[in-house]
Structure 1
Amino acid sequence: MMCTLTLLVEGSRGERDEMQDAHSIVIDLWSLEDKDDSKIEAFKRKRLSFFSVYDGHSGAKAATYCENVLHKNLLNNIQSMLEMKMEGLLDADDALCNSSGELSPKHITRCILDAFKQTNSDFIKIVQKERLKDGCTAVVALLYGDLLYTANLGDSAAILAAETDCRSLKCFPLSKEHTASVYSERMRIQKAGGTVKNGRVEGVIEVSRSIGDAAFKHLGVICTPEIKIDNFSTEKLHPHFVILGCDGLWSKMQKQDVVKFVGDFLSAESTHQAVEEILEQQDLQLPDENLLSVEERVKYKVQRTVRYRKMTVQMAVKALVNEAVKRGSSDNVSALLIFFGKNKF
């Protein structure tokens, strides 16, 4: 799983007056630390990458707030948990929590849950002070070593495209939908004293879990995400890419259709011809390769490979968003595509 990641995000306002989606891409979450604590440096060998898409409603403030804050809250929680682990204050009964002090899935899950809770609590204070109605859904992917943690609340979603034994790409959902029409969600809302009318809480909002939406929090609209953990080092799957998207994408495209569309686009000869033509034009601006040293040639080839992958993924995610709009999505449409570099297009 430790491989180069190539990822791009694309968004479309659709027919809405305002773009209320937001996203975060942090390849190295460790780099955002504001503390210099050499005692926990040994625990940072594992990759820690954070990706998210936020779909705002009743305004963009909740999504923008999460874009700037949620991953920082998560990092602070992980850092605090590592310090507790180092001091022997955490149990080590988890089989995946080894003697090196790495955090177990149970610990990381607690960090994620607390980050969502704190982000919602802090934002609620802001909206109550400013009398705002903003809220947002969230879908988050956290890579910690070989483990992929997917956390979501609301109707945004994440999928994994992986190669099976028959060498075809198959879609594996990484999240569940949280709307007022889902039985278990509706039961919780009604138990809290809320009502569901026409599939909406109090006839107003469709999602049953969110950040913000202060007026509905006492009516069973919670900020607790569902978390799924996938271990790519042990499963007999060959992950190719992950897509995070808001409901504007999924409302017009089935998840398996999305996997097929992106997979076909990434492998299409026409895609690679287009990328190669662009790169050849860019190469004309560079010095003659024959004038470069051996070291410079190696560096150039590596950089060209990176540009090739980035441009291909960028074209794929843009084509995906355009396809959703073409199929009739009038909502904001945002998609984040994470391609695992060990795979061929």
Structure 2
Amino acid sequence: MGVYLSTPKTEKFSEEGENEQLKYGLSSMQGWRTTMEDAHTALLDLEESTSFFGVYDGHGGRVVAKFCAKFLHTQILKSEAYAAGDLGTAVHKAFFRMDEMMQGQRGWRELAALGDNINKFAGMVEGLIWSPRASDSANVVDDWASEEGPHSDFTGPTSGCTACVAIIRNKQLVVANAGDSRCVISRKGQAYNLSRDHKPELEAERERILKAGGFIHGGRVNGSLNLSRAIGDMEFKQNKLLPPEKQIVTANPDVNIVELCDDDDFIVLACDGIWDCMTSQQVVDFVHEHINKESSLSAVCEKVLDRCLAPSTLGGEGCDNMTMILVQFKKPHVDTKSTSDADLSVPPESTETNAGEENGLCRI
């Protein structure tokens, strides 16, 4: 079987919810791909006054995306930085923590439990026979390194995933991204990128890859991976002389912190299956066109997925898995302060083809 089906799977998984501050809808679709490798998390109440949304786009299998959807937000909550109110540092550490947790016996066991027949890594078949002790609990997440077993030296999965997450606490929005999924905010109908697509051809990415001993061929890291940052992909993270943020491929996220204002309409988090087909501004315009016509935000997301789905696999674009989360801010905000266009600036090394159309919001 090739990478594409003979006919696309257009069945969608959709959900929605709301609280006093936000409404959200999401939808995901396998499309033309032979497997569905996306995962997501949507939690209106991660904690009091705090919401969490994440899109994880897997490659080489779905298991790492599923692992992040299960554990990344829990590690944010456990962080000392989070307890101190430093959301940016908390989410930054959580990205690296995913790589750490996927190594060793406990990491292997969790990945095996989340795996499927398409996604096999070293030792999975043997692990179907080996059983953990009955006293082991999936809720004990602080003792990952201490668990012993036949895969204690497991270095982590060769598959990986992108991660783009948004944390909303009162008026503060924190976006963290590693890979080519993207978060975009609509401010008075204008699209602003809150993340940067990490591609090997970006100067800073290329420099890190080459210094770590890697190479770029055909726009791919070591001729294989078409993005330069990801969680997992441990085969690209084996240089013992370098810290995690300087490996050929790194989980190191860009973190953007924005103060929300009354001009903010909604944010969109989506995998590259969407952004390969539509620009950030086109997605924002499409949402504005349909948001008052459809019965729910998830229905708007479904419309976007249908809009992006290719009629055939000949062109390549529109043939990927697709996941989109739409988060709408309820108005009016308590704080009536508004941020003017003069406060907006272009992020470094933006990959958007129309840079004048889509700028990045300045950090606080």
TM-score, length-normalised on structure 1?
0.70
Contact 1:154/1:210 (<8 A) preserved: yes
Instruction: Report what 1:334 is aligned to.
Output: 323
Contact 1:128/1:214 (<8 A) preserved: no
Instruction: Report what 1:120 is aligned to.
Output: 99
Contact 1:138/1:154 (<8 A) preserved: yes
Q: 1:6 to 1:326 in 2, by over 3 A?
A: farther
Whole-Å Cα distance in 2 between the matches of residues 124 and 199 of structure 1?
29
Whole-Å Cα distance in 2 between the matches of residues 249 and 25 of structure 1?
18
Instruction: Report what 2:116 is aligned to.
Output: none
CA RMSD of aligned residues (A): 1.9
**Residue in structure 2 matching 1:238, options 248, 259, 263:** 263
Higher helix share: 1
Whole-Å Cα distance in 2 between the matches of residues 330 and 24 of structure 1?
23
What is the percent sequence identity of the aligned residues? 31
Contact 2:25/2:296 (<8 A) preserved: no
**Residue in structure 2 matching 1:176, options 196, 200, 207:** 196
Tell me which of the two structures has the higher relative contact order, counting C-alpha pairs closer than 8 angstroms and 6 or more residues apart.
1
1:108 aligns with 2:87: yes
Q: Map Cα deviations across residues 68-107 of structure 1 (whole Å, 9 max, x no partner).
A: 0000000111xx3466x5xxxxxxxxxxxxxxxxx2xxx2
Instruction: Report what 2:52 is aligned to.
Output: 50
Higher strand share: 2
Whole-Å Cα distance in 2 between the matches of residues 263 and 182 of structure 1?
31
Which one-letter code corresponds to 2:225 in the other structure?
I
Whole-Å Cα distance in 2 between the matches of residues 195 and 129 of structure 1?
29
Instruction: Report what 2:207 is aligned to.
Output: 187
Instruction: Report what 1:315 is aligned to.
Output: 299
Match runs of 1:10-89 below 5 Å: 10-30=27-47, 47-77=49-79, 80-81=80-81, 85=84
SS at match of 1:142: strand
1:202 aligns with 2:222: yes
Whole-Å Cα distance in 2 between the matches of residues 325 and 241 of structure 1?
23
Q: Map Cα deviations across residues 255-282 of structure 1 (whole Å, 9 max, x no partner).
A: 1000001101113xxx25xxxxxxxxxx
Which structure's CA Rg is the greater one?
1
TM-score, length-normalised on structure 2?
0.66
CA positional deviation for 1:189: 0.4
Whole-Å Cα distance in 2 between the matches of residues 110 and 65 of structure 1?
21
Unaligned runs of at least 5 residues, structure 1: 31-43, 86-102, 164-168, 273-310
Unaligned runs of at least 5 residues, structure 2: 1-18, 109-120, 125-155, 239-246, 312-316, 333-364
CA positional deviation for 1:121: 1.3
The runs of at least 4 consecutive aligned structure 1 residues that moved more than 2 Å come to: 80-83, 124-133
Q: Map Cα deviations across residues 287-333 of structure 1 (whole Å, 9 max, x no partner).
A: xxxxxxxxxxxxxxxxxxxxxxxx42121111011111147500001
